[in-house]
Amino acid sequence: MPEESQKPECAPPQAGQEFASRVIKGVEGRHDGLRSETRLDEPAPQPDQLVIRRRQLSLDDYVQGVLAGDRTILGRAITLIESNAPAHMELAQEVLKQLLPHTGRSIRVGITGVPGVGKSTFIEALGMHLCEQGHRLAVLAVDPSSSVSRGSILGDKTRMERLSREPKAFIRPSPSSGTLGGVTRKSRETMLVCEAAGFDVILVETVGVGQSETTVRSMVDFFLLLMLAGAGDELQGIKRGIIELADALIVNKADGENKVRAQAARAEYARALRFLSSTTEGWHVQAFTCSALTGEGIAEIWAVIEAFRETTTASGVFAARRQAQILDWMQAMIEEHLKTLFFNHTGVKRIRPQIEQSVLAGTLPATVAVKMLLEKFEGDKGSENSNQ
């Protein structure tokens, strides 16, 4: 029998599979615990070995890694900031303190809208345009957490497939963890870390429009509201309070058969905006249309954001807003810290179950229950101070 021809070890890639032949060089540094001299013929490490190799980063490791734009350390720094462990929180604050002088050089844009408006698709279209213009973009995409399991899908990277492969873009999905305002509790700190890493545009995608969605307004420079056309009464499709906080309204999905409806919706919103005051002094809020699917109108929207920055910077409103936001942030952290102290107080935890049962049984008014708990907290704190 004729000898069979020897088959090649690797068949050439088929059409549409070219990406399978691309090999990305691995990390050579030691910041993630992997040895730079690891050879390809070595057996794969076991999970417990990976834990051993992943060494703890020092304060200097975090700071220098973030400033150098190291994506791995940037991700670990954000994870550190999002942690609620006391030891992690202390280190995270030291990291932020050293990174603070390198922050504040970006434009922060909040993007919100009703579920299904196409926020992720819009962000990907805008993000690709920004990267093509030479910008470095960080996307903080907040996913809603389940009120039952506290879990979150974190699927924004999947929805932004093209942008997730862009070298100039960094996408960080985070769970909202039930935080009101549509943004994760540590979003402000995360923005600072991304700015220190050299990203000059920060996009914050919120979970959707709700009564407490206005929190995003207190942490961004430009607030962009995405709208839908053909969804019923346009002016009743969203709370008036959200519209009053927006710096621009965008009717998305203005393509195909929906283009005419989108233009009609834009005209209706434009008429309504005449009767509403702008939240930004010296800025006239306008309504626009765009198609995140085709890219039509995306460049014009970015031009509006740039015009906003130039106008508010010249008038001093931009800097004044940043300063006001810092004070709001400080107050929010004080309130959060006091809340934690109250609920972790030994005396409060001891009497709280019985008081709550009395409230549920209808034998104790809620206002009296609150007074009792606060008196316990303040009384114990007062006795502690007198003993010092």
Host domain of residue 52: 46-102
For position 33, what pLDDT does the model report? 35
Read off the pLDDT of residues 298-348 as tens digits, 9 standing for 90 and up: 999 999 999 999 999 999 999 999 999 999 888 888 988 899 899 999 999
Whether residue 110 is found in the same domain as residue 97: no
Tell me the angle at which helices 187-196 and 86-99 cross, rounded to the nearest 10 degrees. 40
* Same domain? 65 vs 184: no
The distance from CA 267 to its chain's CA centroid, rounded to whole angstroms, is 31
Q: How many structural domains compose the chain?
A: 3
Distances in whole angstroms, Cα of residue 290 to Cα of each of 242, 250, 386: 20, 7, 64
- Say if residues 139 and 173 touch (Cβ distance below 8 Å): no
Residue 141 lies in a domain: yes
Same domain? For 93 and 131 the reply is no
Residues 219, 230 share a domain = yes
Q: For residue 72, what pLDDT band results from cuts at 50, 70 and 90?
A: very high
Q: Which of 30-44, 121-135, 203-217, 308-322 has the lowest mean pLDDT?
A: 30-44
Quick check: is 320 in a domain? Answer: no
Domain assignment present for 29? no
* Contact indicator for 299, 257 with CB cutoff of 8 Å: no
Within a domain: 18: no
CA-derived radius of gyration, the chain: 26
Collect contacts of 125-129 with beta carbons under 8 A, ≥24 apart: 125/292, 125/293, 125/295, 125/298, 126/203, 126/292, 126/298, 126/301, 126/302, 127/160, 127/163, 127/166, 127/169, 127/203, 128/162, 128/163, 128/166, 129/295, 129/298, 129/299, 129/302
Mean pLDDT for the stretch of residues 223-236: 70
Return the percentage of the chain with pLDDT > 70, whole number.
71
Q: What is the pLDDT of residues 288-301, one digit of tens each?
A: 999 999 999 999 99
Answer yes or no: is pLDDT of 11 > 70.
no
- Regarding whether 127 and 67 lie in a shared domain, the answer is no
| CATH number of residue 94's parent domain | 1.20.5.170
Q: Are residues 109 and 95 in the same domain?
A: no
101-153: pLDDT as tens digits: 999 999 999 998 877 888 889 999 999 999 999 999 999 987 544 333 333 33
Mark whether 215 and 142 lie in a shared domain: yes
Quote the CA–CA distance of 223 and 242 in Å, as a whole number.
Answer: 10
Domain identity same for 333 and 255: no
Query: 327 or 380: whose pLDDT is higher?
Result: 327
